Amino acid sequence: MNNPVGWFEIYVQDMARAKTFYEAVFDTTLSQLDNPELEMWAFPMDMATSGASGALVRMPGFPSGANSVLVYFKCADCAVEADKAAKAGGTVQKPKMSIGPYGHIALVVDTEGNMIGLHSMQ
């Protein structure tokens, strides 16, 4: 099974706050998806390349945080995005650390209480 993850969703309570956080940390613009039942803002997608895209989602009755799934975002240097996360209102749970020949990771908590991973080879 190659690249088994095809999509991810990060559940949020305050979409404006969460959208501002992710756009600041990853220097990107999220785009609204058309869904009459959910408010969804997607990360940029390129269907011709490997990897998974996903969206921020606000669904009544489904709280953010405490969901035991960890999404890792690819970065050039995960320490840079960890610093941006702290400046954008999040917290650094685990600063950049080596994972041997597999590169480096950092763990941050977003403004909604979700922990995300940052991965880089540098």
Q: What is the pLDDT of residue 56?
A: 79
What's the CA gap between 116 and 12, in Å, rounded?
13
Alpha helices in the chain (DSSP H): 15-26, 78-87
* Residue ranges covered by each domain of the chain: 7-120
Q: What is the pLDDT of residue 1?
A: 52
Q: What is the pLDDT of residues 85-122, one digit of tens each?
A: 999 999 999 999 998 898 999 999 999 999 899 999 99
Structure pTM?
0.80
Residue 32 φ/ψ, nearest 5 degrees: -75, 135
Alpha carbon 83 to its chain's center? 14
Q: What is the pLDDT of residues 32-50, one digit of tens each?
A: 998 888 899 999 988 787 7
What is the CATH code of the structural domain delimited by 7-120?
Answer: 3.10.180.10
Question: Hey, which of 5-9, 18-22, 47-51, 65-69 has the most confident mean pLDDT?
Answer: 18-22
